[in-house]
Amino acid sequence: MEEKYDLTKYVDRLYSAALNKARDAHVAEDIAQETFLAAVSQLSRGKKPDNLWAWLLTILSNKYCDWLREKYNYPQISFDEHPFEIAQEHIEDDDSAEKLEAVRRELGYLARIHREVMVRFYMHGHTVERIAKDLQIPTGTVKSRLNIGRQHVRKGVTDMENYTKQSYEPDILCLACSGQEGLQHEPFSLVPDSDKLAQSILILAYPKPLTETELAKALGVPAAFVEPVVEKLVAGALMKRTEGGKAYTDFIIYTIKDRMATFEKQLATVENHFTLFWEEMKQGLDSLREKPWYQRQSERARTKLELHFCVKTLMNAHMSVRDEVTGHMPFSEYPYRKDGGRWIAMGMQYPAGYRQEDYAGLWKYAVNGEVGYSEQNFRDMKSLEIWIYGTSFGSYLDTYQAHDYVKWFYELWSEIPTEESAVSSHVLQDADAFIKQGFLRREDKLRLDIPVLSRTEHQEECTLSWRCAEQIAARTRDVLLSVFQSGYVKLPPHLKSVPKWQQYMYCGDSVPMMVIYRAREKGLFLDGVDYPVPASLLVYEK
């Protein structure tokens, strides 16, 4: 052993450091002795530490960890081959157990490529050569990843926790889409209401691209939990990666502030120019009421058909003016998805503790876009469809069972006995809920309570609606354009795939229902209606 590695002058200091850790003279003596013997052994084999005292403290810390592991059954972490640098010469507190926990935590935050080599090397004691062989990467790559991993762990152990608000008071993300869902109800099935982790990841990665490690740090969860979620969202086209590998949310996310940006201006527009909207709308309703397929409906079914017609017409008029600002995007331009769908996602972010009643005025006038559910070749029908808008007068169907409901509603309309029903029994148990929502009624027996049209009749309703919408758009164009000139949503600079119409979607979206409610207040529409009115209809083709 060379003179510069003379350990005798460190014996007392090693004992003092061990006593400071263990708080027990006998234990300290054993730890110091084992440290001394291990150091002598390694030096005799050619070990040449750059900082002898720091190296001795590292060995002492490992011996102390061995003692803790035996006492408390802690996992062993050894840094003999690649020690952390220890600048201080004296250990002030007995905090090694806490540091061990901090090390484990920081290992969890590491990205997979660094985490897997760190865990194999330090937790399982694998050699660099074995890790290189198992992972099929060069030994130099293993050493590089170990070095980067140690730097991250060392920094993380010394830094304060870097959790964001999303880790302890998470906002809520509700997904929506325009277009055709995937085979497994994508994109909705990718981010269920109960999946707070996926929601939080999408919210955090919206303003700027982030690595999985940065997401894990922000959420206070191991990267191993974040990585598969990000992979699923990337595969499902809800996230993308930059050339550098960072992930970002690849659809627009709205906030309540976005929804409220032009709300008061929309109210004022309808209040000041109501007749511009309603005169043409009234003419459209008069034409609708003359149709034989309207007249054959029950009284309540007529009301629901009228609401569906009004919402469709006013929405189309609003979107016609919006398209002048944003350009029209036909369905043929929607991207095809791997899941078999053809959709464009959008999200709504709600703050923690959000209460819908605090924004009752906003939701009173909200419209969820028209959704269609179809079933092919059922009984004697070539196709069956339900078309519905979600409004404050009536809600949507349950998306995941909607196809069963289409079949059931047709059976009720056709008066097929319950015992001959082709739908599952649990669907039939939803009758009371549908009566309450206005889809069904119970008289002498359970009956369908929404309008039913043939495909030809539905096409006639759509044509009439479009003609009326064109007239309304022409008369209201100037007043609506002033609404669209402000309040659009600004996107993060890296987000390039969002169509322009989505930035303006909520500039005038409340106008249709504001017009309908104003007409009701004046006794011109839905006068005296005190029952649920889902804006829906059943369409059949033989």
Q: For the segment 452-497, what is each residue's pLDDT rounded down to a tens digit?
A: 999 999 999 999 999 999 999 999 999 999 998 877 899 999 999 9
Residues of the chain with pLDDT under 50: 1-3, 74-94, 160
Domain ranges in the chain? 3-158, 165-251, 257-328+374-541
**H or E, element range at 329:** none
Cβ atoms < 10 Å from Cβ of 484: 18
Q: For the segment 5-37, what is each residue's pLDDT rounded down to a tens digit?
A: 777 778 778 888 887 777 777 788 888 888 888
Same CATH fold assignment for domains 3-158 and 165-251: yes
Tell me the C-alpha distance between 417 and 406, whole Å.
16
Using DSSP bridges, classify how beta strands 381-390 and 247-249 pair: parallel, antiparallel or unpaired.
unpaired
For residue 78, what are the CA distances in angstroms to 91, 156, 333, 334?
Answer: 19, 18, 57, 55
Token output for 252: 């627009």
Confidence at residue 85, expressed as pLDDT on a 0 to 100 scale:
38
390: closest CA among 315, 494, 335, 318?
315
Tell me the C-alpha distance between 284 and 9, whole Å.
100
Tell me the C-alpha distance between 224 and 535, whole Å.
46
Is the distance from CB of 407 to CB of 378 less than 8 angstroms?
yes
The half-sphere exposure of 363 on its side-chain side, counting CA atoms within 13 A, is 10
Question: Where does residue 189 rank: exposed (0-12), middle (13-18), buried (19+ CB within 10 A)?
Answer: middle
Q: Name the fold adopted by 3-158.
A: Arc Repressor Mutant, subunit A (1.10.10)
Is the distance from CB of 464 to CB of 290 less than 8 angstroms?
no
CA terminus-to-terminus distance, the chain: 97
Confidence at residue 358, expressed as pLDDT on a 0 to 100 scale:
87
User: Which 8-state DSSP code applies to residue 120?
Assistant: I
**H or E, element range at 372:** strand 368-378
User: Which 8-state DSSP code applies to residue 252?
Assistant: E
Cβ atoms < 10 Å from Cβ of 166: 19
Confidence at residue 399, expressed as pLDDT on a 0 to 100 scale:
64
Task: Name the CATH architecture for the domain at 165-251.
Answer: Orthogonal Bundle (1.10)
Is the distance from CB of 423 to CB of 408 less than 8 angstroms?
yes
Confidence at residue 76, expressed as pLDDT on a 0 to 100 scale:
44
Strand partners, 383: 376, 541
Confidence at residue 428, expressed as pLDDT on a 0 to 100 scale:
79
Confidence at residue 84, expressed as pLDDT on a 0 to 100 scale:
40
